[in-house]
Amino acid sequence: MLKLPETLRENVRLLGELLGETIHAHEGEDLFAKVEGIRKLGKAITRTENGDSAPLVKLLGELDDADILPIVRAFNQFLNLANIADQEYFSSAESEREDVLQAMLLEFSDKYGKEELAKKISELSIELVLTAHPTEVTRRTLIRKYDQIVDTLADKQNGSLLTFEQDKLRGRLHRLVEEIWATDEIRTTRPTAIDEAKWGFAVIENSLWEAVPDFIRHLDRLSKRHLGTGLPTDVQPFKFFSWMGGDRDGNPNVTHKITREVLLLGRWMAAELYSRDVYSLGGDLSMSEASDELRAIYPSATPYRDAMFTLRKRIQATLEWAEARLQGRIVETPEDLIVSREDLLEPLMVCYRSLNDVGLPHIANGPLMDTIRRIHCFGINLVPLDIRQDGERHVKAVDELVSYLGLGEYAKWSEEERQAFLLEQLGSKRPLMPLQWPVSDDTAEVLATCRVIASEPREILSHYIISMAQQPSDVLAVALLLKECGMTWDMPIVPLFETLDDLDRAPIVMDRLWSLDWYQKYSAKDQTVMIGYSDSAKDAGKFSATWAQYKAQEKLVALAEKYEVSLVLFHGRGGTVGRGGGPVEKAMASQPPGSILGRIRVTEQGEMIRYKFGLPRVAFSSLSSYVVATLRATISPHDAPAPEWRDLIERMGASSLEAYRSVVRGHDHFVPYFRSLTPEQELSLLALGSRPAKRKSTGGVESLRAIPWVFAWTQVRLNLPAWLGARQALEYALEHEPKTLQDMVTNWPFFSSFLDLLEMVIGKADGPICTYYEEQLVPAEYHGLGKQLRDDLKALEMLINELKKQDILLKDEPLLRQSLEVRKPYVDPLNYLQAELLKRYRSSKSISPDLERALKVTMAGIAAGMRNTG
């Protein structure tokens, strides 16, 4: 069996040892002994085939109430520290087996030609959208300490350290662990939408600001070495966008005032970062030799410094203006306010050309080029903002307007009537909306948002996304509202197709929309369409939803070719498999042929932003993965599925859908079972994000957001959203066409990737743990459903092993398997204690504050152990 790398094992051991010393010092010998006893019993369970959990459960049941909180904190922090050691190791030089980017360039340059590959690289457009979905459990103050531990562990790997330097680093680690222990790991107040936006900006400042130019420099170097040509100065494969402060779908806390403030914050933060860069460049660019072009502007002995001084003055004016506006002060807009990338780029490019002209290319391509590339990536507000709103809100706004004008009841009109009215008004030169008219609060907010959009520079905004888009009129209504609110440019409008019905209807909707002459001109035949992963999986089950997403994308690609539309598919993926998450390489490889073409847009959500981009080295690796996966899917896409595969998976999908919905919608006991088994209702105790857990204040599971839906099942280790219905699909295929099924497993990347993700999810599940929750929390009359679900899971595990011709799960992923085994003795006690605390919390109106806090810590700890929340 493959062992965890020695460096990783040593770092986990060291951090665990320091945590133990800290607990011993702060909590005493008695509590430390209890933690050790629990840990040893947990390990004993994992060492045997069918480990008996009774001794562990007995010991946990005998704990004094006063001991529960420090014990759950101990196990939570060990899991966090293990994750830190993981992160440090897999971003280190020791773990770097090969440069995947270089390997891909060598492979493709031979196969497709250097010139063609260089062209494809220069055309890459990878848009990563940072969203503030409430899945980041860890407090920002602790994240900073965890990052410092990563840096210190990296420093320890320096083989030339003297003894006192090693001791100094160990002392720093001990101090950081003690700081963590002395810090409350659970937020006491829910972050605001502004807090979430600041967190997004912090990721850019602390990580991406360095990682992006480092990565582009590396790509440029490899291109010169292997393709014979470097990257153009304006090439930027990546652009970052944000929903933080723009996503108002179901979040009443995001208002037009919040959006305006976040836009200002972005401009302020960008000016602050560029000011630092330009100040530093002023110190670096001390040379006097310059081109005629530069001397004509700055005829002095230090023309480059003069250029930087002048630019910094302008940046500072923008910074002070934004700061005053944020403070609510009314100030005059500076004449030289920075309102576009060109305002920043122009003086830098003059200096860049001058340095090259006078024979100083290494200086030209140093920090100066890094700043130029940052500007191309981050623009004037770091992350241009998407605006997202529920389609119903636009219908209501137009309905109120039409009713006030005495033109009828828009909400009751047919789709044809709506389109005719909207197109007539969009083509009219006369305003439709009165300056003042009585509107509901909801409509007033929609219109105020449109006015904010209309008043801001184009570069700081991106797309307008319509949740639950169902008809072409949904898109036209947004265009009309923007026009009536003073919009002077054609903001891209993106329909989001989320449920199974929406996905099936998406090609019909886009066919009608693209056939409209007015819309063809508005969109300039450049269209983004968003595919929802979370809600479709919750609606139809992961198997059926995944196939529906594939089919929708295929049809949209074909339609775009028919209408000669440049199509970008926007993938609304979450962090977990149940919400479309998973490795980038597998996700890209399983897309329909022709759906990438060098352009892709993807959400990066919640805690996955930290896991992928929280540290410069980790971010560098993630950027590399995206480029490799996007190029591979563009240049060498997999073939479309064979007709017999398509026919079989269609029938498998129908079987899966019936099985999934028969449980989630059709079983009378499902909702009460879910609500009693999982901590779904108690998740509200965690101050996770600014957005409510439900889109609407009323309703059952159907109104629950996909994130708490997935989070709740992950906590009890059943992971149901990612696999329910898959057993029936596979059984159907094995019964009717086993040879075709095996052919799909072997030769269809889309299907094999899905099975790999399914295997990972099942590997993280734990039937006995779930049974314990059931015994403690679920009324006896619902136990039959629980047994049915666990039997379903076990049968699915056997099916996957059979299809993959293996005797155990994750046989081809030994590192992941061992990592889960290492974490299990620390996660299991948290699960057993959480079940007990949930029982007490629900049966008592007066649970102590310490026990309530302990319950919240178990949620954070289990999420850390499973590396998943929502």
Catalytic residue ranges: 133, 538
Contact 718, 791 (CB under 8 A): no
Task: Tell me how far apart the alpha carbons of residues 557 and 339 are, in angstroms, rounded to a whole number.
Answer: 35
HSE toward the beta carbon, residue 217, CA cutoff 13 A: 17
Contact 852, 685 (CB under 8 A): yes
The residues pairing with 125 across neighbouring beta strands, listed in sequence order, are 599
List, as one string, the DSSP characters of 247-283: B-TT-TT--HHHHHHHHHHHHHHHHHHHHHHHHHHHH
- Sort residue 441 into left (φ over 0), alpha (ψ -120 to 50) or beta: alpha
DSSP structural state of residue 480: H
DSSP structural state of residue 713: H
DSSP structural state of residue 332: P
Residue whose tokens read 């998406």: 506
Q: Identify the CA nearest to 88 among candidates 28, 168, 176.
A: 176
CB burial class (10 A; 0-12, 13-18, 19+) of residue 62?
Answer: exposed
According to DSSP, the β-strands at 566-572 and 385-390 are unpaired
Q: Identify the CA nearest to 37 among candidates 12, 62, 13, 15.
A: 62
CB burial class (10 A; 0-12, 13-18, 19+) of residue 706?
Answer: buried
CB burial class (10 A; 0-12, 13-18, 19+) of residue 286?
Answer: exposed
Contact 79, 180 (CB under 8 A): no
Contact 712, 634 (CB under 8 A): no
Task: Tell me how far apart the alpha carbons of residues 207 and 200 are, in angstroms, rounded to a whole number.
Answer: 11
Contact 867, 83 (CB under 8 A): yes
DSSP structural state of residue 205: I
Planar angle of CA 491, 493, 498, nearest 5 degrees: 155
Planar angle of CA 401, 404, 407, nearest 5 degrees: 85
Q: 3-class secondary structure for 518-566? A: HHHHHHCCEEEEEEECHHHHHHHCHHHHHHHHHHHHHHHHHHHHHHCCE
Residue whose tokens read 């219109």: 447
Task: Tell me how far apart the alpha carbons of residues 268 and 381 are, in angstroms, rounded to a whole number.
Answer: 7
Alpha helix stretches (DSSP H) within 91-130: 100-112, 114-122
Contact 760, 816 (CB under 8 A): yes
Task: Tell me how far apart the alpha carbons of residues 863 and 829 are, in angstroms, rounded to a whole number.
Answer: 13
SS3 165: helix
According to DSSP, the β-strands at 599-605 and 238-242 are unpaired
Task: Tell me how far apart the alpha carbons of residues 348 and 486 are, in angstroms, rounded to a whole number.
Answer: 34
Contact 70, 185 (CB under 8 A): no
Q: Identify the CA nearest to 293 among candidates 337, 355, 375.
A: 355
List, as one string, the DSSP characters of 785-829: HHHHHHHHHHHHHHHHHHHTT-SSTTTT-HHHHHHHHHHHHHHHH
